[in-house]
Amino acid sequence: MPQMTVLEILNRTKAFFEKKGVPDPLLDAQYIISHGLGMKNRMDLYLNFEKPLTPAELDVLRPLVARRANREPLQHIVGDTSFRGHSIKCDPRALVPRPETEELVDMAKNLLNGIETPFIVEVGTGTGAIAIACAKEIGSSRVLATDISEEALALAKENAEANGLGEELKFAQGDLLDAVTGDVVVKIADDASAKIDCLIANLPYIPDGEKGKLQPEVDKFDPALALYGGPDGLTLVRKMLSQTEGKLASGAPILLEIGSEQAAMLQSEATNYPWLEFTGAHKDFCGNIRFVSYKAK
């Protein structure tokens, strides 16, 4: 029996993924096959379409294909993802970072332009992607990343080390801003009373009623702790905003990722935090409202 070629396996995998409802079946088939065959990138597939596959190579590919057909996230299967060009390890300990979230870092960079050694806090860091990008891209920044999940923080620390970060990025475990104690602040800012120059958070914002209705990749494999934010999705956002009084430098921005339906509600509630000014709702690169911003008065 003749051996199947790379192209034949690619076409069969694509068809199998289509049958299983996998989004982007061709793209995912390319990623998984190139990963399983140890190729540097997807483009190598096109240079090897006629290559016959050995039984050993097929044995490697079969379980990878089966995992994706079961809707396990591609990033878990290949082991990482790119976030603003930084390699971020992904596994079930934390939410897979989304491309749209990268824009939070651009917003922070623009707002912190001209501030020397800004003190940045990211709450709910998960994989650490946002904190890592800020530490590497915002010159002389001092970044503190927090999470309530010990497992997520362990993953974030692994990612920070893999990205060559040291003293410029610290971690603390705790519930939202309760983690930002004087003892923690002095380790990153050399002053227990230092004020935050920028607060960033991509907190759980999916309403509890959406449980079981999300894509299987999210519903089955992302940690529920990182997804659901109470009856209307904003319980944790409100709690964190209420904790900000007295902790931010004057004019310091707060940048939050939220659901597209939630911006108007947060704007209407802004008077609940008289020490803050609501400064806008912002769209992502797909044209959807994805972020809101505040600044400390």
Q: Where are the domains of the chain?
A: 6-70, 80-296
Q: Are strands 289-296 and 253-257 parallel, antiparallel or unpaired?
A: antiparallel
Q: Specify whether the CB–CB gap between 71 and 20 falls below 8 A.
A: yes
Beta strands in 149-257 (DSSP E): 169-173, 198-201, 253-257
Burial of 288 (0-12, 13-18, 19+ CB in 10 A): exposed
- Give me the pLDDT at residue 2, please: 67
What is the rounded distance in angstroms from the CA atom of residue 207 to the CA atom of residue 191?
38
Measured in Å, how far apart are the chain's first and last C-alpha atoms? 74
User: Could you read off the pLDDT tens digit of each residue along the chain, which spans 297 residues?
Assistant: 568 999 999 999 999 999 999 999 999 999 999 999 999 888 899 899 999 999 999 999 999 999 999 999 999 999 999 999 999 999 999 999 999 999 999 999 999 998 999 999 999 999 999 999 999 999 899 999 999 999 999 999 999 999 999 888 999 999 999 999 999 999 888 888 899 999 999 999 999 999 989 999 999 999 999 999 999 999 999 999 999 999 999 999 999 999 999 999 999 999 999 999 999 999 999 999 999 999 999
Q: Are strands 142-147 and 119-123 parallel, antiparallel or unpaired?
A: parallel
State pLDDT tens for residues 247-294.
999 999 999 999 999 999 999 999 999 999 999 999 999 999 999 999
Rounded to 10 deg, the angle between the 129-137 and 150-162 helix axes is 30
Question: Can you give the pTM of this predicted structure?
Answer: 0.94
Which tokens go with 147? 């999470």
Which tokens go with 290? 């994805």
- CATH superfamily placement of domain 80-296: Vaccinia Virus protein VP39 (3.40.50.150)
Helices assigned H by DSSP within 20-54:
25-36, 43-46
Q: Report which secondary-structure segment, H or E, holds 123.
A: strand 119-123
- Give me the pLDDT at residue 40, please: 85
Q: Are strands 119-123 and 289-296 parallel, antiparallel or unpaired?
A: unpaired
Let me know how long the chain is.
Answer: 297
Burial of 209 (0-12, 13-18, 19+ CB in 10 A): exposed
What is the rounded distance in angstroms from the CA atom of residue 134 to the CA atom of residue 104?
10
Residue 282 phi, psi dihedral angles, 5° rounding: -135, 145
Burial of 118 (0-12, 13-18, 19+ CB in 10 A): buried
- Give me the pLDDT at residue 138, please: 95
Contacts of residue 114, defined as CB under 8 A and 6 or more positions apart, other chains included, come to none
